[in-house]
Amino acid sequence: MLEDKNQSRTSLEELGEFGLIEHLTKNFSIQHKTTVLGIGDDAAIVDFKEGQTVITTDLLIEGVHFDLSYMPLKHLGYKAVMVNLSDVYAMNAAASQITVSIAVSNRFPVEALEELYEGIHAACKNYKVDLIGGDTTSSNVGLVISITALGEASPETIVKRSGANENDLLVVSGDLGGAYMGLQVLEREKEVFKANPNNQPELEQYSYIVERQLKPEARQDITAILKELNVVPTAMIDISDGLSSEILHLCKASNLGCQLFEDKIPLDPQVINVCEEFNIDSTTIALSGGEDYELLFTIKQEDYPKIKANPSVSVIGHMTHEREGKHLITRADTKIPIIARGWNSLSNGG
Amino acid sequence: MLEDKNQSRTSLEELGEFGLIEHLTKNFSIQHKTTVLGIGDDAAIVDFKEGQTVITTDLLIEGVHFDLSYMPLKHLGYKAVMVNLSDVYAMNAAASQITVSIAVSNRFPVEALEELYEGIHAACKNYKVDLIGGDTTSSNVGLVISITALGEASPETIVKRSGANENDLLVVSGDLGGAYMGLQVLEREKEVFKANPNNQPELEQYSYIVERQLKPEARQDITAILKELNVVPTAMIDISDGLSSEILHLCKASNLGCQLFEDKIPLDPQVINVCEEFNIDSTTIALSGGEDYELLFTIKQEDYPKIKANPSVSVIGHMTHEREGKHLITRADTKIPIIARGWNSLSNGG
């Protein structure tokens, strides 16, 4: 589907470990005044005297988290950074630095890693983040990517999962389920391609959801909008595993229950259409699909007027006393318990 | 060699991803005032208002960096932390926090991960480091461990690779080559065991070097000694890839040459004996062996009186003008160029 058989191939041994790092990172520039020293020493140095630092890390394994048969390496590099930045924004912090470690087997030529780093570079540029370190090593199997992201925040505006209160409104950015349905389409096209390699995939009508899967954007813009609107969420989390799983995390951390209204869950028309095509319930996909990297947060009721006209966010429910439980109120006005059916990488994988 | 067939086995699915993290990290306590928020949110929060922060990260892959047939999981957890702390101490910084990400296949029961985390816990306790986050996911192959370490330092005493000057003395802590020869002994015993599983390995006479391989200690004590002696190295690096490779890094970063004296390289008698047994030149092993996690640093000549009586460090040479090149002066007083033959994980692996 994507492999270009004519690409030039430079073996990793030709460069060696240190040469490879230098080669892959030579175009990365330092943009943050907090970055004192980047790549090239035993450790990087940052200076966060003016606020607190948030740190998050993610580990992505080929065959578990991504499939290179439909994930271009450039997109993978971009997405791997997004996954981490999304966690930084979920703290209401400003992402500032990342480290990137990769393990690769010899089947990857240098050119493949250049593509991966092109995506990482684009992410660093678009989100104004400095690449300050990492590790490059060999893998006896596939590709492994481990990214750690740092961000800055002031103690007054940092947002944890645990700060929600009874009657706070539950708000989500963007729309849900697209990334998961994009994956379903890509998986189907992969099977078609395996059966007949001359068959060219037709993805045009699925462009939005395929892009949601292959090139998600972390919602830095939402943290900027909230700042502009002078709204500090009481609790926040990013949606990596699916709405139901993340709601339960917020409820647990804040010792609360909640009511989520099915008819308020934002869905893109393409998601609704593709769910019909695949004969899957779109609410189930929004609740359990995962990888949307939207932000889910709670705000005080008094902040509602500030956000109600904003098309980037939707109020989907409210928090309740813990004893009232966590419920989905369906379109038919029935009340069903929310359970975590989120994407669980421990049971999905090998 | 090490597998206990009677161990109890709890499958990873029984706990699930979030349950697993909670289970494995429940005994870890927070010891640093800079740690504001640890595990359990989208990101950890640290507060480094009083100094600069150093960050380092390492990625360890089963079959490339470790072999579970002779590496007990508890030791592996300990060593994985040491590898990172060593980089922090090489900046003359105080290690304060780590994040630990692991990918595991279903062949590992929860009990195996408990052992791994026992080692991580022991390392955190011994070195007063807080575990503040990470990621736990599945692997379709073996075990992958990614650790990021943070440390604090004041800008005045932080030491980079680039600060050495002509005529500075080249100093190394501890002794070299032990970890590599320990690995050779373990590899040999593995072969013996494969040929005859009833054969119990006799490792007593190799205890020092086997421990150097399986349970290295990062040289926090050296940074403490230097502080006590009021010596701030001009440049520093830790020895992970072998003395020659690290010397070349210091020379390159500081734009200098150097003279290294073969007869000054510190070797433990057990390393010398085992090198004879394996018919390998001990200087070659010290130069290229790797994984010793000692500190290599340069000091001003005027600081020599402060360190000369200290048994933990050895002066092994001095820095020269760049045009004089980088040379080893042998016991026979011949001058040979130092080349990097260090352990290179990109060519060693698959």
A268 vs B38, residue with greater confidence: A268
- What is the reported pLDDT for A349? 32
In a domain, B162, yes or no: no
Instruction: Give yes or no: residues B335 and B186 share one domain.
Output: yes
In a domain, B7, yes or no: no
- What is the reported pLDDT for B239? 96
Q: In this structure, what are the phi and psi dihedrals at residue B263, rounded to the nearest 5 degrees? A: -70, -5
Residues of chain B positioned with their CB less than 8 A from the CB of A42: 56, 87-88, 90-91, 161, 236-238
Place of tokens 């703290």: A91
Closest in B40, B57, B132 to A133, CB measured: B57
In a domain, A213, yes or no: yes
Instruction: Give yes or no: residues B121 and B212 share one domain.
Output: no
Residue A14 C-alpha, separation from nearest chain B C-alpha, in angstroms: 10
From B107, B123, B153, give the residue that closes a domain: B153
pLDDT tier at B269 (50, 70, 90 boundaries)? very high
Instruction: Give the span between the Cα atoms of B265 and B315, in whole angstroms.
Output: 8
Q: How many CB atoms lie within 10 A of CB B199?
A: 12
Q: Say if residue A350's pLDDT is above 50.
A: no
Q: Say if residue A20's pLDDT is above 80.
A: no
Residues of chain A positioned with their CB less than 8 A from the CB of B296: none
Instruction: Give yes or no: residues A76 and A131 share one domain.
Output: yes
Residues of chain B positioned with their CB less than 8 A from the CB of A158: 45
Instruction: Give yes or no: residues B41 and B87 share one domain.
Output: yes
Q: Say if residue A3's pLDDT is above 70.
A: no
pLDDT (tens digit, 9 = 90+) per residue, A232-260? Answer: 999 999 999 899 999 999 999 999 999 99
- What is the reported pLDDT for B5? 46
Q: Where are the beta strands (DSSP E) in chain A?
A: 35-37, 44-46, 52-61, 94-104, 130-138, 144-153, 169-173, 235-238, 256-261, 295-299, 313-321, 326-329, 335-337
Instruction: Give yes or no: residues A138 and A201 share one domain.
Output: no
Residue B189 C-alpha, separation from nearest chain A C-alpha, in angstroms: 23
Instruction: Give the span between the Cα atoms of A82 and A217, in whole angstroms.
Output: 6
Closest in B37, B105, B350 to A139, CB measured: B350
Mean pLDDT of the region B311-333: 97
Q: Do A46 and B56 touch (CB under 8 A)?
A: no
**According to the 3-state scheme, what is the secondary structure of A121-170?**
HHHHHHCCCEEEEEEEEECCCCCEEEEEEEEEECCCCCCCCCCCCCCCEE
Instruction: Give yes or no: residues A45 and A179 share one domain.
Output: no
Mean pLDDT of the region B220-224: 97
pLDDT tier at A116 (50, 70, 90 boundaries)? very high
pTM for the model: 0.90
Q: Say if residue A1's pLDDT is above 80.
A: no
Q: In this structure, what are the phi and psi dihedrals at residue A275, rounded to the nearest 5 degrees? A: -60, -40
In a domain, A2, yes or no: no
Residues of chain B positioned with their CB less than 8 A from the CB of A64: 103, 137-140
Place of tokens 């596939």: A142
Instruction: Give yes or no: residues B117 and B188 share one domain.
Output: no
Q: Do A64 and B141 touch (CB under 8 A)?
A: no
Q: Say if residue A158's pLDDT is above 50.
A: yes
Residues of chain B positioned with their CB less than 8 A from the CB of A52: 36, 45-47
Q: Say if residue A270's pLDDT is above 60.
A: yes
Minimal-distance CA residue of chain B relative to A21? B346
Q: What is the mean pLDDT of chain B?
A: 89
Cβ contacts of A201-208, under 8 Å, gap ≥ 24: A201/A1, A205/A270, A206/A182, A206/A270, A206/A274, A208/A178, A208/A268, A208/A270
Instruction: Give the span between the Cα atoms of B244 and B255, in whole angstroms.
Output: 16
A9 vs A276, residue with greater confidence: A276
Instruction: Give yes or no: residues B132 and B184 share one domain.
Output: no
pLDDT tier at A344 (50, 70, 90 boundaries)? very low
Instruction: Give yes or no: residues B37 and B107 share one domain.
Output: yes
- What is the reported pLDDT for B323? 97
Mean pLDDT of the region A91-103: 93
B303 vs B108, residue with greater confidence: B303
Minimal-distance CA residue of chain A relative to B134? A57
Closest in B43, B87, B144 to A55, CB measured: B43
pLDDT (tens digit, 9 = 90+) per residue, A180-223? Answer: 999 999 999 988 888 888 877 778 899 999 999 999 999 999 99
CA atoms within 13 A on the CB side of B212: 28
Please, are residues A246 and A115 in contact by the beta-carbon 8 Å criterion?
no
Q: Say if residue B51's pLDDT is above 70.
A: yes
In a domain, A5, yes or no: no
Q: In this structure, what are the phi and psi dihedrals at residue B277, rounded to the nearest 5 degrees? A: -60, -40
CATH number at residue B213: 3.90.650.10
- What is the reported pLDDT for A287? 95
In a domain, A159, yes or no: no
Q: Say if residue B16's pLDDT is above 90.
A: no
Q: Do B43 and A54 touch (CB under 8 A)?
A: yes
Instruction: Give the span between the Cα atoms of B160 and A38, in whole angstroms.
Output: 11
Place of tokens 């390699």: A197
Closest in A46, A133, A347 to B52, CB measured: A46
In a domain, B220, yes or no: yes
Q: Say if residue B116's pLDDT is above 50.
A: yes
Split into its structural domains, chain B has a count of 2
Q: What is the mean pLDDT of chain A?
A: 89
Residues of chain A positioned with their CB less than 8 A from the CB of B157: none
Residue A317 C-alpha, separation from nearest chain B C-alpha, in angstroms: 22
Mean pLDDT of the region B302-311: 96
Minimal-distance CA residue of chain B relative to A12? B346
Instruction: Give the span between the Cα atoms of A177 and A168, in whole angstroms.
Output: 24
Q: Do B57 and A148 touch (CB under 8 A)?
A: yes
Q: Say if residue B111's pLDDT is above 70.
A: yes
Q: Do A64 and B36 touch (CB under 8 A)?
A: no
Share of chain A above pLDDT 90, in %: 68
From B105, B123, B153, give the residue that closes a domain: B153
- What is the reported pLDDT for A17? 67
Instruction: Give yes or no: residues A239 and A342 share one domain.
Output: yes
Q: Say if residue A296's pLDDT is above 70.
A: yes
Q: Do A59 and B144 touch (CB under 8 A)?
A: yes
Range of weakest confidence among A245-254, A262-271, B97-106, B288-297: B97-106
Instruction: Give the span between the Cα atoms of A275 and A277, in whole angstroms.
Output: 5
- What is the reported pLDDT for A146? 96
pLDDT tier at A341 (50, 70, 90 boundaries)? low
In a domain, B184, yes or no: yes
pLDDT (tens digit, 9 = 90+) per residue, A215-238? Answer: 999 999 999 999 999 999 999 999
Query: What SS3 state is found at A314?
Result: strand
Q: Say if residue A346's pLDDT is above 80.
A: no
B274 vs A36, residue with greater confidence: B274
Instruction: Give yes or no: residues A128 and A174 share one domain.
Output: no
CATH number at residue A137: 3.30.1330.10
pLDDT tier at A7 (50, 70, 90 boundaries)? low
Range of weakest confidence among B246-255, B282-291, B332-341: B332-341
Which value does ipTM take for this structure? 0.88
- What is the reported pLDDT for B7? 55
Q: Do B40 and A253 touch (CB under 8 A)?
A: yes
Q: Say if residue B60's pLDDT is above 90.
A: yes
Query: What SS3 state is found at A332?
Result: coil
Helix axis angle for B73-89 and B110-127, nearest 10°, is 30
Instruction: Give yes or no: residues A334 and A200 share one domain.
Output: yes
Domain that holds residue A219: 169-348
Residue B187 C-alpha, separation from nearest chain A C-alpha, in angstroms: 18
Q: Do B139 and A64 touch (CB under 8 A)?
A: yes
Instruction: Give the span between the Cα atoms of A313 and A294, in whole angstroms.
Output: 10
From A102, A123, A153, give the residue that closes a domain: A153
